[in-house]
């Protein structure tokens, strides 16, 4: 096997390189959840890597087929337990397509606000975790969590829960936003640019960060497309694909925002794309707060009890912070789905981990995994 930057390795008696098998996990402190990487090393160089998961499997899809449509909404919170609001929205869109349910305009704006707040706290947390994976002290992560706490306080104020929000409903939202809550959102997003400026000044030109991330874990554009990669990982490889633009779901066509793209598809680009996307989320939030209309937040025609969509199928998807999150549902006219299937971005994006790690050093594999941004609730659903 030909590898970039070969390192002289000890040979066995037959003159062949001695390979070392290392099992990283399932309790390794640098992995994101209960996850294992089985790595084969030629010295420090990765020659084979196998992701191993299944430690957190909770039978999510089969449970969804044994309970009512609405009963599954709280379970979506546990898929990506960092992004409860966007999980709710993707599932709600699928059921609304299946049953032909309309969503009031004010509810659409509230959904956008929740989704972009979720994107802010997800990306900030990811950057903090990635820097910790690279060996930084806990300071960057604490800076990120300081801002994340402000968003979680907003979620708690409107939904009653910080992480498992259970906020969306078919045809709208569960609770309306008060003027005081919207003012609190305005205060948070007005202070966020200062945090981003500080973060960028500390990170973007840092020599150690650049040495550890530039040219590391490159994901070519062609491989990203053929592997079905979505979200910031795909855009870091230079592919202009954002479901908010492609599908124009909700009221996203009313907002003027750009889709940042990377040039190299390495760890550094994946980090920078998240920083740039947070700037765009702030633009969307500013416009949504200025233009949110009055009115109902729930379609009055939606039946909560005895909810039985007509037989049929539907697939609804959104641009979740980690990529395309979709739900495929089949109705047979009964109160629970005949088929309930989740398309999780974390699992799909994880499939190219070995491709990005081959030829790199073991320490790089940890940084590459961190840049993928996985959560095991989605992987092991």
Each domain of the chain, given as residue ranges in start order, spans 12-52, 60-379
Residue 188 has pLDDT above 90, yes or no: yes
* Burial track 327-356 (b if 16+ CB lie within 10 A, e otherwise): bbbbbeeeebbeebbbbbbbbbbbebbbbb
Query: For the ranges 63-77, 200-214, 286-300, which has the lowest average pLDDT?
Result: 200-214
- The residues facing 381 across adjacent strands are none
What percentage of the chain carries pLDDT values higher than 70? 94
Query: For the ranges 51-55, 184-188, 214-218, 256-260, which has the lowest average pLDDT?
Result: 51-55
Looking at residue 3, what is its pLDDT?
40
Class of domain 60-379: mainly alpha
Q: How confident is the model at residue 376 (pLDDT cuts 50, 70, 90)?
A: confident
How do residues 332-365 score in pLDDT, each as one tens digit? 999 999 999 999 999 999 999 999 999 999 989 9
Q: What is the mean pLDDT of residues 219-245?
A: 96
Q: What is the mean pLDDT of residues 254-271?
A: 95
Angle at which helix 179-203 crosses helix 139-159, to 10 degrees, equals 170
Residue 235 has pLDDT above 90, yes or no: yes
Q: What is the mean pLDDT of residues 198-227?
A: 90
Looking at residue 225, what is its pLDDT?
96
Question: Which helix or strand (DSSP H or E) is residue 195 part of?
Answer: helix 179-203
Looking at residue 27, what is its pLDDT?
66
| Total Cβ atoms within 10 A of residue 44 | 13
Residue 10 has pLDDT above 60, yes or no: no
Looking at residue 114, what is its pLDDT?
97
Looking at residue 56, what is its pLDDT?
81
Cα 218 to Cα 267: distance, rounded to the nearest angstrom = 7
Looking at residue 28, what is its pLDDT?
55
SS3 label, residue 16 = coil
Alpha carbon separation from 188 to 66, 104, 151, 163 (Å, rounded): 40, 26, 8, 18
Cα 61 to Cα 68: distance, rounded to the nearest angstrom = 13
Average pLDDT over all residues of the chain: 90
Q: What is the mean pLDDT of residues 162-183?
A: 94
Cα 319 to Cα 257: distance, rounded to the nearest angstrom = 14
Looking at residue 4, what is its pLDDT?
42
How do residues 126-157 score in pLDDT, each as one tens digit? 998 888 888 877 788 888 889 999 999 999 99
Cα 312 to Cα 234: distance, rounded to the nearest angstrom = 32
Going by the DSSP 8-state scheme, the letter that residue 293 receives in this structure is: P
User: What pTM does this model have?
Assistant: 0.92
CA angle 164, 193, 167 (to 5 degrees): 20
Residue 99 has pLDDT above 70, yes or no: yes
């Amino acid at each position: 096997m030909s590898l970039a930057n070969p390192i002289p390795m000890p040979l066995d008696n037959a003159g062949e390189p001695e390979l070392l098998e290392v099992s990283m996990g399932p309790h390794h402190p640098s992995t994101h959840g209960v996850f294992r990487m089985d790595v084969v090393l030629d010295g420090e160089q990765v020659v084979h890597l196998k992701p191993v998961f299944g430690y957190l499997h909770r039978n999510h899809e089969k449970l969804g087929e044994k309970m009512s449509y609405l009963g599954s909404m709280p379970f979506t919170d546990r898929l990506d337990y960092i992004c409860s609001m966007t999980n709710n929205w993707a599932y709600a869109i699928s059921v609304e397509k299946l049953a032909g349910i309309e969503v009031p305009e004010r509810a659409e704006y509230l959904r956008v606000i929740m989704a972009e707040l979720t994107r802010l706290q997800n990306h900030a947390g990811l950057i903090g975790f990635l820097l910790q994976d690279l060996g930084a002290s806990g300071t960057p992560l604490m800076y990120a969590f300081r801002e994340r706490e402000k968003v979680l306080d907003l979620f708690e104020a409107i939904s009653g829960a910080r992480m498992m929000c259970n906020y969306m409903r078919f045809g709208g939202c569960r609770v309306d936003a008060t003027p005081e809550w919207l003012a609190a959102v305005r205060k948070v997003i007005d202070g966020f640019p200062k945090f981003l400026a500080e973060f960028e000044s500390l990170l973007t030109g840092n020599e150690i960060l650049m040495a550890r991330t530039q040219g590391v874990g490159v994901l070519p554009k062609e491989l990203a497309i053929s592997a079905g990669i979505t979200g910031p990982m795909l855009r870091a490889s230079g592919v202009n694909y954002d479901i908010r633009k492609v599908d124009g779901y909700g009221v996203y066509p009313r907002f003027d925002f750009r889709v940042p793209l990377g040039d190299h598809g390495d760890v550094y680009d994946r980090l920078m794309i998240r920083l740039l996307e947070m700037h765009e989320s702030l633009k969307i939030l500013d416009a949504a707060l200025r233009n949110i209309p009055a009115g109902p937040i729930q379609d009055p025609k939606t039946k909560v009890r005895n909810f039985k969509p007509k037989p049929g199928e539907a697939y609804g998807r959104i641009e979740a912070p980690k990529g395309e999150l979709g739900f495929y549902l089949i109705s047979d006219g009964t109160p629970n789905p005949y088929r309930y299937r989740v398309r999780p971005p974390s699992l799909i994006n994880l499939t190219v981990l070995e491709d990005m790690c081959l030829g790199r050093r073991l320490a790089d594999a940890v940084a590459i995994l961190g840049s993928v941004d996985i959560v095991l609730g989605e992987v092991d659903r």
